[in-house]
Amino acid sequence: MKNARVWFKKDNECRYISHLDLNRCMLRALHKSKAPIWHTEGFNPHPFATFPLPLSLGFRGINECMDIKLIEDISDEELINNLNACLPQGIRVFAVTEPIMKAGKIAYARFNMKISNDNLNSDKVYTALKELLESEEIMLEKKSKSGYKTVDLKKSIKNYSLSEKCDFAELEIVLSAGSTDNANPNLIIKALENAAGEEFYADITREDLYNSDMELFR
């Protein structure tokens, strides 16, 4: 039996399917493609597949992955082609690798955020965002399993870079992720709206995952 990490992009119309629907979609593709994967044992066996860190609804993902176990030899190219033939166009498998890190090692995620406002030009969006990110603390009410609590979002920001584009502000940001602290980039938008008193639109792409030493998750 061989462990394999299947890498894929999630974009276009598929960015709006939930993680549960993504899981169903992938399991269906694994079944239809006749991939030689290990099935769980018990009364209702099903293809084994796990996702290291679910992607939030509406986000694009360019380096997403799922882990499977192969019980027979199959070339990476054949597995990729077979899966893509059974997947919607918004999900494209592009690589298969041997897992190096365990999912529990994930500590950070890097996002690209294109932020705009119908009432403000890009300069004002950039300025408002710059002031927010340069503040000493970013206090925000965050929903948790035990209810709502006030957190300092600033503590979840590892690093960032901000630039002004033609009609939006572009933010590259690394946020805490994983089981101990998982900061959703939508919290940045919520904090910005609270500070500016305006509604903002954000096109968000998750680009990469990292461990605590900022090594790429592979």
Domain boundary among 99, 133, 163: 99
For residue 67, the enclosing domain spans 2-99
What are the average pLDDT values for consecutive 10-residue runs of the chain, which has 218 residues? Answer: 96 95 95 92 84 96 97 96 97 97 96 96 96 96 79 95 96 92 94 95 98 96
User: What pLDDT, on a 0 to 100 scale, did the predictor assign at position 41?
Assistant: 80
- Alpha helices of 85-207 — where are they, by DSSP H? 122-134, 186-196
On whether the CB atoms of residues 33 and 82 are closer than 8 A, the answer is yes
The pair of three-digit structure tokens given for residue 37, joined into one six-digit string: 């994967």
User: What pLDDT, on a 0 to 100 scale, did the predictor assign at position 178?
Assistant: 83
Is 216 part of any domain? no
Quick one: 79 and 133 in the same domain?
A: no
In whole angstroms, give the CA distance from residue 127 to residue 125.
5
User: What pLDDT, on a 0 to 100 scale, did the predictor assign at position 8?
Assistant: 98
Residue with tokens 């300092």: 152
Is 94 part of any domain? yes
User: What pLDDT, on a 0 to 100 scale, did the predictor assign at position 1?
Assistant: 87
Prediction pTM value: 0.93
Is 217 part of any domain? no
The pair of three-digit structure tokens given for residue 215, joined into one six-digit string: 């090594």
User: What pLDDT, on a 0 to 100 scale, did the predictor assign at position 44?
Assistant: 80
User: What pLDDT, on a 0 to 100 scale, did the predictor assign at position 47?
Assistant: 84
In whole angstroms, give the CA distance from residue 161 to residue 112.
10
Domain boundary among 71, 99, 127: 99
Beta strands 201-210 and 60-70, pairing class: parallel
